Amino acid sequence: MNKFAIALVSLVVSLLISAMAPALVFAQGDAAAGKAKSALCGSCHGVDGNSALAMNPKLAGQGAGYLYKQLVEFKSGVRQNATMAAMVMSLSDQDMLDLSAYYASQQVTIGGADPALIELGESIYRGGNKELGVAACTSCHSTDGTGNAPAKFPAVGGQHAEYTVAQLKAFRSGMRNNDSGSMMRSTVERLTDKEIEALASYLEGLN
């Protein structure tokens, strides 16, 4: 079995496992309560979840289940980030559910891709690289970049390219390792810096 087939089988298994988990997070969270609790978050991520600084991720329109998972893992230390660990330290489980519901209810703003990088970025996103065993990103993140909320696969369309590059490189190096079944790490470990840059730029303009 070649590398691409192995990667594809692993992806399908992970998708099935993730899909079996009930997606109740959005229903449990109170978006109105989350808005009232979001003042501190807004200083970095924007009042409506559309951050002004490209190093800070946009949260608007992100799946509530994915957001909740990240907050829980920042708090537990599974996902390492000193700033976020300090921010979530005092949050209750309900606080995290409410904040997740609020940001999921907002509309993400779409940026623009570098015309010189669109062709390569789109090729990787939609087609992957069979020779290297890299599956198409659309398998998990959907054709329009809105992700897969029930499986807790994040929306990537419209996200700042700078932030996306940082996260892909963190997965590639193993610095970030909170991906289910090492799905992201096993995928991006085969991507070059140029491919990551092109992919991130393409995603910033995807809607």
What would the CATH number be for the domain defined by 25-104? 1.10.760.10
Q: Which has the closest alpha carbon to 61: 123, 104, 118, 25? A: 104
Using pLDDT thresholds of 50, 70 and 90, give the confidence band for residue 141.
very high
**Tens-digit pLDDT profile for residues 163-175:** 999 999 999 999 9
Annotated binding site for heme c: which residue ranges?
Answer: 41, 44-45, 84, 137, 140-141, 184
**Tens-digit pLDDT profile for residues 3-50:** 554 444 444 444 444 444 434 444 589 999 999 999 999 999 999 999
pTM listed for this prediction: 0.87
Q: Do domains 3-21+110-204 and 25-104 have the same CATH topology?
A: yes
Structurally, at CATH architecture level, domain 3-21+110-204 sits in Orthogonal Bundle (1.10)
Annotated binding site: which residue ranges?
Answer: 41, 44-45, 84, 137, 140-141, 184
Helices assigned H by DSSP within the chain: 3-19, 25-28, 31-36, 39-45, 64-76, 82-88, 93-104, 118-127, 138-141, 161-173, 183-188, 193-204
- Domain segments of the chain: what residues? 3-21+110-204, 25-104
Query: Looking at residues 41-64, what average pLDDT do you find?
Result: 98
Provide the β-strand partners of residue 153: 148
